[in-house]
Structure 1
Amino acid sequence: MNWSVRPEPFATSDATRLRRDYYAEVAGRYWRRPATEAEIDEGLADDPPDRLAPPTGAFVVGRYGDGGGDEGVAASCGGVRLLDAATAELTRVYVSPAVRRTGGGAALLTALEDAARRLGAHRLVLDTRLDLVEARGLYVKRGFREIPAYSSGPYGQIWYGKELTAPAGR
């Protein structure tokens, strides 16, 4: 089984389903109960697509399957957006629970780091919650380190950063 991660418009049916799954999981953990459809809709309404589109952002979808590529099942997503000329922020990073521990998180972060570089960023940052232990473990494993808070909001409990280096061969 292979992973293929590529840019995809924010509002495709696969991207929308994955973003709904993301909101359902993070909201359910936060509230310690399943999120309602109305709560998921409200979360999506607060997530304007122009923030994760060129020239200031990017959104990607990962597909998992025998051949990878477009024939795989859409099972991960994530976005990156510029905060300033040198810093990009990761957001909406999600891997479907059914395919976690198959390399999808690493493939997703590699694609998002590449997208940030294409946007001109030299540094990636993110905020997350303490209860999202799988995500936090992935970030640390991929070289992110805890940094001082760069943002405020009700859901940011821990902040990470990573300096981006040029990919090998470039």
Structure 2
Amino acid sequence: MSDLVFRSLPYTDPVVQRLLEEIYLDQTERYGGPDAAAVDPAEFAPPRGDFLTAWQYGEPVGCAGWRSDGDNDAELKRMYTVPAVRGRGVAIALLAAVEDSARAAGRIRLILNTGPKQPEAIALYEKCGYDPIEPYGHYKDYAEAVFLGRVL
């Protein structure tokens, strides 16, 4: 996808904040409220993390970030593509860019959690080689939460 460009931006950047608002609206429609897991913007700053935005024809069309406590795992957070580009490979390319960023920072595995009301996300992760892992974090005790991971 030669017309797709990735840029690292601070989590507090206005472009990122606009995409995050779209994520929260989607989560509210699906689950009745946005993701309740705590996120500190500083977690997405190198060397502990990175936050990528996907751009196509000069417009932001997606975002995703990873954060880490300094161990071998990086946690994927706030993966999103705007509805207009879904089904066109943007999400796969964005996920690959996040994996590359985490790998370059020395992380060995990318982990994530999502929910059953996001079957398209689950299908994407499974297609990209993600397998079930042990529950962790804020949603570890939620029976319906889905936890996936992949060795980088």
Alpha-carbon shift at residue 63 of structure 1 (Å):
0.6
Q: Give 5+ residue unaligned stretches, structure 2.
A: none
Aligned match of 1:5: 6
Does the 8 A contact of 1:3 with 1:103 survive in 2? no
Counterpart check, 1:59 vs 2:51 = yes
Counting aligned pairs with the same residue, the percent is 35
Does the 8 A contact of 2:48 with 2:70 survive in 1? no
For 1:104 and 1:8, locate their aligned partners in 2 and report how far apart those are by CA, in whole Å.
18
Aligned match of 1:133: 119
Counterpart check, 1:82 vs 2:68 = yes
For 2:6 and 2:129, locate their aligned partners in 1 and report how far apart those are by CA, in whole Å.
20
Structure 2 counterparts to residues 145-160 of structure 1, below 5 A:
145-153=131-139, 157-160=145-148
Alpha-carbon shift at residue 97 of structure 1 (Å):
1.1
TM-score (norm 1): 0.79
For 2:127 and 2:69, locate their aligned partners in 1 and report how far apart those are by CA, in whole Å.
24
For 1:104 and 1:9, locate their aligned partners in 2 and report how far apart those are by CA, in whole Å.
21
For 1:107 and 1:133, locate their aligned partners in 2 and report how far apart those are by CA, in whole Å.
19
- Mean Cα displacement is larger for which, 124-133 or 46-55? 46-55
Which of the two has higher C-alpha Rg? 1
The list of structure 1 runs, each at least 4 consecutive aligned residues, that deviate by more than 2 angstroms after superposition, is: 150-156
For 2:43 and 2:23, locate their aligned partners in 1 and report how far apart those are by CA, in whole Å.
17
Does the 8 A contact of 1:76 with 1:94 survive in 2? yes
TM-score (norm 2): 0.88
> C-alpha offsets along residues 57-85 of structure 1, whole Å, 9 cap, x if unaligned?
110000122xxxxxx21010011011442
Alpha-carbon shift at residue 151 of structure 1 (Å):
2.7
